[in-house]
Structure 1
Amino acid sequence: MTTSGGASLHVHGTVGPPDAEQRLLLLYTGGTIGMTTRADGALVPQDFGRLAAHLRDPDELPVGVTIAAFDDPIDSSAIRPGRWLDIADAVVELAGDHTGVVVLHGTDTMAYSASALAFLLEGVDRPVVLTGSQRPLGERRSDADRNLYTAGAFAALRDGTGAPVVPEVTVAFGDLLLRGCRSRKVSADRFSGFASPDLPPLAHAGVSLEVTASLVRPPGAGGLRRTGGLCADVAALKLHPALDEHTLTAVLTRPGLRGVVIEAYGAGNGPSEPWFLRALEAATASGVVVLVTTQCDSGAVRAGQYATGAALFETGAVAGADLTFEAALTKLMALLDRHPADEVRRLLSVDLVGELSPLV
């Protein structure tokens, strides 16, 4: 098939027990988990026969698995917004009679992709689980097998009525299942590479799969679909003591800019100098949506908790509460594609897909 963005994708067949009651879709987009090491030490995509071989043990994953892959798998550090649309289109097109979806993805930008998919996929009524690995499948001490089977197990998990237990976009990594739009990559070399700082894991994978049902969102209604796209006319700026007026102005006056995420200090604090506040005020007055998140690993932006923060929000900036940076950026992109600036500002404070904690 070819996605709306022109990406080519092929289905490479089905593996697993022929009489399996369930079938999962395994979509390979790129990343270390599907790579193999060449003689010169470089990582290249491995043959899908080898990938399928890891899925043929019915004791490990007693379901049928349809394997599909993009013809041009990429390192996730090279991903662009168009590929998020391609992945969303592929999920919608191919999920069909599959009871769950596993997306194999590079770890570097997996949290961005999981957040983007959460906002792009409406009516999610089955698990869409992203996973990857720090080392390729088949290598010694690789975490790939464990993550692959854990993701598959969560994607296939049903309750006593046959309904999916976690019908959300999630990230499975190590022994954790995290809400996709609350996840972050927290380590480049540990096998426990992802965390969800402001929301407990939805589930743990130990001897058994332990799901915290009270945290799981109910399935969507109306069928799995992609509505809208992503506006790429956005920027991001991390506050630091050496930030000057020229840099700030260059970012906020970029031609075509419609939105910017500012990573502020603490609970949403920033400089109180007139040049800083004037630049933000001019940007919001021109229609640019300014969303403020925190540089802290956890916690929330609260407008006006400190005098410096109060001045920042008087410019028209929006407090991002406990949005992760990844969720803040992708939510802003999705909303700007669908709504005028005033409505975007309103919806940024509304929990749409579980990206915000209540009463934050």
Structure 2
Amino acid sequence: MGKKVRILLIYTGGTIGMVKDYPSGTLRAFDFKKLVTYIPELSQLDCKIESISFKQPIDSSDMNPSHWVEIASIIEKHYDSYDGFVVLQGSDTMSYSSSALSYMLENLSKPVIFTGSQLPIGDLRTDAKENLITSIQIAALQENSQAVIQEVCLYFEYKLYRANRTTKINAEHFQAFSSLNFPALAESGVHLKINRNYLLKHKKNQKLAVHKTMDTNVAIFKLFPGFSRELLHGILNIPNLKALVFETYGAGNAPTDEWLLSDLKEAIKKGLHIVNVTQCSGGSVIMGRYSTSEELRKIQLIDGSDITSEAAITKLMYLLGSGVSHKSFRTIFETSLRGELS
């Protein structure tokens, strides 16, 4: 009999790590060392589960790049000792965190599964148990002593997604996330179905490289009818701003006002990287399809294709932090690094 697969749970905070104190009705964090007490079904999994928690668990609204670095460092430190990792955090910023980790963990050959819940573990109708149990089960999947999943994923409500393809779409339903531009990597029903054709493959003989410098001199500007030149000017002239996610209409369209194009062109000339990303939940930027986006193409906006805003902003942080040269920045951004682009 082979040795048991080892899974490390990393608890950062969030609803999934809470239990209800019924006499008072308040929520409190529970001790992950007693995880099997709360979820006895875990003892049926043929793997060894251990856990580590942030010293001060945080609400996901407080999540920032320093916490991403902490998660990446924990994985780096324990990478050789475990076969898979399950990261637990609040759902509000999970798409940002998991997208960031997908870039930070280069040459990943083991699963890193993000999950959480809409209701605490002790709640009668909780989704926490299923999300956690199946995330661990997926993280433990092995074939020929190799992990089946070799990328950063997000599991929620019976579906496993590529993390950097996800967006939180609902604050109330159990199906809180969607991946509108890329199919689910796995679906959990009576059987666990893995869609192998969509999985990222690890390049052999490539060691894990962990990138811990994320440059936060970035911003997102969402177009809306009636936005003023003064507003755009204020955004484009933020001190030390290096890159901007420009959320356009539909397939990458924007107003054709002469001042808009001239201001964007001037900002790009001064060295600002501007990425054209659709503000639609699904679909892709296709600059040049309509005349309203042809001018954006001419002034050299970076083509965001079908990337999500969450994956775009974290990719900008990663590339800027990695010291990518100005000359090659556009080409590298428009290249799929971790499956974030079609």
TM-score exceeds 0.5: yes
Is 1:154 aligned to residue 153 of structure 2? no
Alpha-carbon distance change, 138 to 36 in structure 1, aligned in 2, over 3 angstroms: closer
Indicate the SS of the match to 1:248. Answer: helix
2:194 corresponds in structure 1 to 211
Aligned pairs (5 A) from 1:296-311: 296-311=280-295
Q: Please, which runs of 5 or more residues in structure 1 have no aligned partner?
A: 1-18
Distance 1:343 1:272 in 2: 28
The 10-residue stretch of structure 1 (149-158 or 214-223) with the greater mean CA deviation from structure 2: 214-223
Is 1:355 aligned to residue 340 of structure 2? yes
Q: Please, which runs of 5 or more residues in structure 2 have no aligned partner?
A: none
2:151 corresponds in structure 1 to 168
Given that 1:20 and 1:64 are in contact with CA atoms closer than 8 Å, whether structure 2 keeps it comes out as: no
Distance 1:41 1:273 in 2: 56
Query: Following superposition, which runs of at least 4 residues in structure 1 exceed 6 angstroms of deviation?
Result: none
1:6 corresponds in structure 2 to none
- Report the CA distance between 1:57 and its aligned residue: 4.0
Given that 2:20 and 2:122 are in contact with CA atoms closer than 8 Å, whether structure 1 keeps it comes out as: no
Deviations 1:191-214 (A, max 9, x none): 111111011100101112111111
Distance 1:295 1:235 in 2: 14
2:231 corresponds in structure 1 to 247
- Report the CA distance between 1:92 and its aligned residue: 1.0
1:257 corresponds in structure 2 to 241
Aligned pairs (5 A) from 1:320-359: 320-338=304-322, 339-357=324-342
Identity of aligned residues (%): 38
Aligned pairs (5 A) from 1:73-92: 73-92=57-76
- Report the CA distance between 1:58 and its aligned residue: 5.2
Q: 2:85 aligns with which of 101, 111, 131?
A: 101
CA RMSD, Structure 1 to Structure 2 (Å): 1.7
Counterpart AA for 1:336: L
Indicate the SS of the match to 1:312. Answer: helix
**TM-score normalised according to structure 1 size:** 0.90
1:9 corresponds in structure 2 to none
Given that 1:262 and 1:290 are in contact with CA atoms closer than 8 Å, whether structure 2 keeps it comes out as: yes
Is 1:273 aligned to residue 257 of structure 2? yes
Alpha-carbon distance change, 92 to 56 in structure 1, aligned in 2, over 3 angstroms: farther
Given that 1:20 and 1:62 are in contact with CA atoms closer than 8 Å, whether structure 2 keeps it comes out as: no
Indicate the SS of the match to 1:197. Answer: coil
Distance 2:304 2:88 in 1: 29
2:113 corresponds in structure 1 to 129
Distance 1:132 1:119 in 2: 21
Aligned length: 338
